[in-house]
Amino acid sequence: MRDRASIDADTVRALFTNRMHVLRHYRRRVIRPVFRAVRKQETPAALAHRSPRLLVRHPRLLDERARQQLHELLERYEVLRTVIEFRDRLQQLWVDTAASLGRALVQLRLLCAEAESSSILALRSFALRLRSYAPAAGSD
């Protein structure tokens, strides 16, 4: 990783190459801490025990009951909906990267600008960290 002030085409390529690492980092540094913060504000019965798993698994991997629980959780907690929407938009960038690097670059800049102006500290920190991704030396 590198210390970068701006997002460029190399950043997009590096995020595409390291997408599994990026998602793991997002799960650990954003989704779980935000969920823990919500849980601290609620009564224990208000949040289902499986809720953290619902948030980190892709909805296509959930059964119908779990998808319904996820939907209800995201409807009830805007902060959780925000971090999941960010993850989904980040994943969409990888599809866009395959189609058009320029389009993916524009989308990543917009996505990070929104995250950096968010009131969610974990999301802001993650977006700032995305700037540091760079292709491995000699990967051209």
Domain annotation covers residue 138: no
Q: Note the pLDDT tens digit of each residue in 54-73.
A: 898 888 889 999 999 999 99
Phi, psi of 5 (to 5 degrees): -90, -25
Residue 55 belongs to a domain: yes
pLDDT digits 0-9 by tens, 79-100 = 999 999 999 999 888 887 777 8
Distance from first CA to last CA of the chain, Å, rounded?
A: 16
pLDDT at 140 over 60: no
Range of the domain at 118: 9-130
What is the reported pTM? 0.84
Give pLDDT, residue 26: 96
**Count of structural domains within the chain:** 1
